[in-house]
Structure 1
Amino acid sequence: MRRQKNTQQMKEQDKNPPDLTNEEEIGSLPEKEFRIMIVKMIQNLGNRIDKMQETFNKDLEELKMKQTTMNNTINEIKNTLDGINSRITEAEEQISDLEDKIVEITTAEQNKEKRMKRTEDSLRDLWDNIKHTNIRIIGVPEEEEKKKGTEKIFEEIIVENFPNMGKEIVNQVQEAQRVPYRINPRRNTPRHILIKLSKIKYKENILKAAREKQQITHKGIPIRLTADLSAETLQARRDWQDIFKVMKEKNLQPRLLYPARISFRFDGEIKTFTDK
């Protein structure tokens, strides 16, 4: 009975050899148990290596997935940046084109303004040349000319104010009329009388004499004699008024010349300016 029990224990030991770690115990093992232990250790080591390999492969796969995700993210960022850079470049090109167009438009507008200014100046000069022999008489009451004619009024003014000029000036009248042609009922002042003379020298002589006499009358009523100028030239002459007054106060002997120039004497020389 005891022998059978020992035999059974030996069989179980053969199936499950003891977990021996002590060198002396290992050295005392029978060859069969030693081989079984070695095989088991190799199997355990293999299992551990397999698990380690499996874990490594799993970690490696996760790392690859993360790397792929990161690469995709980097590519998306790169594509986004490329798109932004492309739009920036396109916007810069559009801005540059707009700036060029603005320069072109500005240049065209400046040239247009210059052409318009030249045209206006040419028209003003042409209109002033047409008017350059005219004299305006301001302040003569309406209806006077119905009794004797407009030319007769001019003759009376010349005789009353410049008797030394005689008939020569009166005979140089080419046209004499009220302007504008129609009466404006809203205006209380009489229309001007326009006298067109044959030559500019006659107009200049009359205006010079009027400046020297200062007070011009018709039948004792004060009137004014002026050159017939375009509205633009009149405004240009008005623009000189403040400067004219300052020059006069400083005794620079200023003069407004036809059509809208100013002259003055400085250091013994006569200076002339065409505009401010």
Structure 2
Amino acid sequence: MTGKQTKVPNLREWADTVSARAFDPAWIDLYTLQQYDPVLSALGWRSTFRTSARTEDRLRTMDRHVAAIFFFLFLLPVIAVTGTLGGSDLATHTEFAGLDAGVGVPLVAIVFTLSLPGPLLELRRCVLHRGRVTYIEIAGFCVTLFASAATLAGMSSNWDVDVLRLALPSVPVWASLVLTATTLGAITVATSRQGPAAPDHFRRSGDPDLVRARELLARLAPGERDHLAQARGRAISTLRDRGLLTLEQAVQLSDLALGESMSLLDTRRKAS
């Protein structure tokens, strides 16, 4: 079984287009050496252009993740706020005034209770697995926050639930509001401190063998190594011109031997 191939930008394209959010100077040698599979493997990486059944597994996992976000952070909160405040069908132009308190109050409490795993699942994925927050996840958090606040207001005005005194039916809604806000804040802080967890076009393939990588690079023809070094130098200049590298970082990166930019990760870990 094969997955869909994803084109990896060449070094110049990457230097020209990489965003500040996705950039890490440690990745430059992966893009420099992307055509040299044995070297990448020795460095402990592989290009996502190489496809396998595991690629399909990752895509299926991603699909399940998106479905979970939709269910916990979009669908359930929207059902709850609609039951509280009502809504309208744009196709038929019919109005829905919301549920009666006898049905709506317990339904909203149940729905928000069921939605509580959503923020916790996101916290686990983004913090424990060091993933970057996607736009759909941010949208999900925003929908849940809005739905929680609107539901509390609707419970108070439409159903006379004393939400300020934490009446029992309002507790799951308050829990959702506080948990979602806290989780979003924690994820934002954690991911901003960690930086990019992995480059967009490469994945870990095993433990690095730096001695083996140096041996493979040493076997390249001198002209080929010079060409790679020059391309790398031009990319560093481009990144410097774009403001993604400071002068100190550019000098530090230039001083590293070809294939050793990933050592910056170890340097940062030791410093933190």
- TM-score, normalized by length of structure 2? 0.21
- Which one has a larger percent strand, Structure 1 or Structure 2? 1
| Structure showing greater relative contact order (alpha-carbon pairs closer than 8 Å, 6 or more residues apart) | 2
- TM-score, normalized by length of structure 1? 0.21
